[in-house]
Amino acid sequence: MDAEISQPKPRLTSNVISTTLTQMTSTHREAFETPESTEKANSSDSFDSSDNVRSSKTTPPTKILYRYLHKDSEGDIIDKRESPYPIEFQADDSATGLSDQTVLEILTTRISKSQSDKSAGGSGKLDANTVMKIHSIYLINALREVIKYYPSLSLRAEPVTISEPYRPLVHYMTELEEYKTNHPPGHDDNCKDITNSHIDILLGFLDHTLGKQLRQERERHRQPTPVVTFEFLWLLFKPGQDVYFQDPDDNTWSGRVVAELEGGVLGPNASPKPYQIHSWNVRSLEGKVQPTRGCTQIDIFDGEKDITSLAVFPKHFHSEDAKLEARLVERGKKYWSMCRLSYKEYRGTTVTIPATRYGTSDRPPFTVRSSHRRLAYVLC
């Protein structure tokens, strides 16, 4: 597949840019020093080449490898270029390829629209898709340890592939940093050192790629009136996050747990799509108390938006979070008690639409055997 072909075809219909990050050590920012800056900083130093670092006579493996591949419409490679620096469509013989030191591979695929697509009304722009391939088993095992709940992510395959903007990794940046000082008892010093260096590579890449935008967005969350932008709204909805949902029909509140999120802006050149927030809570259905999933859509918006104005939002942003949580917990206990075999009498207003009030002079109390599970839904 990677063999050079001396006579490239005259017309290219797609091209692939593959960026590979190989093993780096030290802090996150040091991990992203370019070979050029490292050489300048260390021009007067000499290091042991057995440690895969610069010496006076040897060149270390490329820390960041940029690969540019040309493919034809059949997917065959017809040209390949490599460089230790960002690709500017010029070959550089000092680059090295994938190796057993490779930690991350960043693969961007751009496909040109065909002439028929343009004539059918297409824009003729390049469709781009970027994914990260995690090759390091040390890093994969660390992710398996810290990511306890992420239904849309599979960590079974090797390498692990995650699409831009790498949402699962961003959601667990803090846990990965903490893992560096909290390894399982079975890890020896060598395993800890390698794992920590690979975590630094990953966190350094995320900071280099998204750090500025993430810091700005989180600062918006800390404002007196917390706000959010559409592009980074996904930061609020980490799977497992407790959220509040307000029913638009009767304005009643309920607690839910985020399961997964779809939509948004998936890449710098991608068109935005409305978010689909999939979440769940517990209800009694068909004679069983069980998790029940629901989906809430958040439409595209410009600028900033008050977080609490969203149809669903993390519970800690509610101005009376403690009171609302206590009320919902009490309601949940009542719900659970009504799901067991018993007879109940209710005086008050139901939450059904239209609401009905029982226990008045013209309407007797609502009486039912709660084991058939309907009462809990009517009242709660």
The domain segmentation of the chain, as residue ranges, is 14-220, 228-318, 333-379
The average confidence (pLDDT) of the chain is 75
Instruction: Give percent above pLDDT 70 in the chain.
Output: 59
**95 Cβ neighbours under 8 A, 6+ residues apart:** 62, 65, 66, 67, 82, 83, 84
Question: Which of 15-24, 26-35, 255-264 tops mean pLDDT?
Answer: 255-264
Token readout for 99 is: 């190796």
Q: Is pLDDT of 377 > 70?
A: no
Amino acid at 309: S
Rounded average pLDDT over 261-288: 85
pLDDT recorded at residue 16: 38
pLDDT recorded at residue 251: 80
Packing angle, helices 137-146 and 189-221, rounded to 10: 60
DSSP state of 75: S
